[in-house]
Structure 1
């Protein structure tokens, strides 16, 4: 009996630490990474903290122990002030007038042969065409002679005529205006296209914020030691601040219908996400199911998003997490105004 008491005290101490950490994490989206860069890194661990607190909640419930209240209270606070980790939406209304919007980080169509399968590029084209999206936003795009995306209109922005890496927006409907925000001192970027559908103009932003260069298949995620990894992540989040502000400045000049989608290289618990999602609907939150994990790693990271203005109705959201065509999973939303 005494041993059980000691075990419970130890478990409650650990529970208290992770519950406090989760509670403190709720303020992270309100603090700019430029203020305290180190804090921003902890936003990556919020899903882990939520899951651990859920496990403690279940454990204490099974024990019918009063310690249940700690994680229950902290998780309940998160329901009101934080982005949900899990969604169980059963909404799936399919209308012919829906606009089908896909976002996919294609990892340069396997240009650097990260996968031994030499047909990856063709598989990606086949997948995109089979889903018949109306708009496709591609990150880590590579301009290949074998490009075969069957949509008539497109805007492609590569780094230069010789450096064929960049971003692309493909559309079933005419593109009447397009442009690039040209991030400074970055391999990443954001582009936009104004698309005409049924006499309505919809502005689509394809966002690719500063990469954190996380390699889940290497020790320390590709860094020599944890200290250097931590510093690299913090520097990446700081660069995302200027990039996010540039997007918001450009976006605020547009008062019409809008879609902001892409690879944010950050979670829904970050400052960057909170800023970009302000006054918008998140398609996953509206219609998603499960964790919404969009990065191919054991840890549940949702870093790819489809956001719309508040007037849009989102009827469906899907993550294609059964594919291994990239280090990201494609996502698609059905929406209309």
Structure 2
């Protein structure tokens, strides 16, 4: 510090501040949200924090100052323990699907544009056409308002589970699962005091039974718009985020309890409304594989937060599944972007 100019001292103080933010963010995924709910919102800004710290590292390296180790060491820890939000290589497609290969897509369709959040009167038709073109074996929709038109458009899916219990008239959000393989059991997981929920379907896949979870965690404006942030008092903003994070944590544990009880191999997909750097992601993921980490590339964007690409929609699978491919699509048919993966079941049966 003694050998630094006034300008560099200011830079160093800013560097220390952002390094502290990143250091705390490293702890957030591993500490239960109910213990540090007031800091859990940091999981949303980890990518930005990483980039800012990387700029500081570059700056100090150009200045030939060992201060670069302050942010540099934290970036190494971040990469080793939490994983990158950008991947340079991966497998997007499978040329020839085998008998034990299963393709699955997840997409928050935002009600198929029923409330006209997007311009155009045929967004729902564009979604149907997109799914038909990609032709996954299973497709899971969040915010999937029921419509007879959808069933006719997706007629290739003989088996389906649309959670009627949680209909829009009761202030609930509907999730749905469409499958080419027989569904032998269905159920839902209710989230107390929330419009969100999770559903699951046990499907018969050759001689195996596979449980498919479709989840939609608390979205109580957890990803606020730019105008909301500008106009909302900081105390109210953090209070709202804290409340939503606590609900997410409660919901994640309900899902975890359900998964621990099933004897079947599991695939879980859906909209977590939070990043891979959150505790709720760690609670649900456990020992499951994340298709993006296995075969994804690029940012893996499923949502834009203040125009920055982030990943809040996931495809997770038990270790018995080998992830063959992962693909993110740049289709603007909702505020979310679709995700698709192909998995191979390694089974003795």
Q: Say yes or no: TM over 0.5.
A: yes
- SS of 2:129's partner is helix
Per-residue deviation, 1:261:
0.8
2:160 aligned partner: 154
- Indicate whether 1:177 and 2:185 are aligned: yes
Equivalent residue for 1:274, pick from 256, 266, 282 = 282
Equivalent residue for 1:319, pick from 328, 331, 346 = 328
Per-residue deviation, 1:312:
1.2
Q: 1:221 to 1:123 in 2, by over 3 A?
A: farther
Per-residue deviation, 1:51:
1.2
1:73 aligned partner: 73
Per-residue deviation, 1:318:
1.1
Per-residue deviation, 1:250:
0.9
- SS of 1:266's partner is coil
Deviations 1:130-182 (A, max 9, x none): 10001111101111232122311100103248558400000111111111112
1:130 aligned partner: 133
Per-residue deviation, 1:333:
0.8
Distance 1:43 1:75 in 2: 15
Deviations 1:297-321 (A, max 9, x none): 312321100001112110111111x
Distance 1:223 1:187 in 2: 25
Q: 1:215 to 1:157 in 2, by over 3 A?
A: same
1:103 aligned partner: 106
Equivalent residue for 2:312, pick from 303, 326, 331 = 303
Q: How many residues align?
A: 335
Which deviates more from structure 2 when the two are superposed, residues 240-249 or residues 206-215?
206-215
Distance 2:72 2:234 in 1: 32
Q: 1:265 to 1:206 in 2, by over 3 A?
A: same
Structure 1 stretches lacking a partner, 5+ long: none
Distance 1:42 1:243 in 2: 19
TM-score under structure 2 length normalisation = 0.90
Q: Alpha carbon RMSD of aligned pairs, Å?
A: 2.1
2:44 aligned partner: 44
2:35 aligned partner: 35
- SS of 2:105's partner is strand
Distance 2:37 2:195 in 1: 21
Q: 1:184 to 1:18 in 2, by over 3 A?
A: same
1:286 aligned partner: 294
Distance 2:213 2:297 in 1: 24
Is the CA contact 2:44–2:275 (under 8 Å) kept in the aligned structure 1?
yes
Is the CA contact 2:302–2:328 (under 8 Å) kept in the aligned structure 1?
yes
Q: 1:79 to 1:161 in 2, by over 3 A?
A: closer
- SS of 2:310's partner is coil
Distance 2:213 2:46 in 1: 27
Q: 1:66 to 1:160 in 2, by over 3 A?
A: closer
Per-residue deviation, 1:278:
0.7
Which deviates more from structure 2 when the two are superposed, residues 28-37 or residues 179-188?
28-37
Distance 1:92 1:7 in 2: 46
Per-residue deviation, 1:116:
1.9
Is the CA contact 2:91–2:326 (under 8 Å) kept in the aligned structure 1?
no
- SS of 2:50's partner is helix
Distance 2:168 2:141 in 1: 18
Structure 2 stretches lacking a partner, 5+ long: none
Is the CA contact 1:220–1:226 (under 8 Å) kept in the aligned structure 2?
no
- Indicate whether 1:243 and 2:246 are aligned: no
1:89 aligned partner: 89
TM-score under structure 1 length normalisation = 0.93
Is the CA contact 1:47–1:300 (under 8 Å) kept in the aligned structure 2?
no
1:213 aligned partner: 221
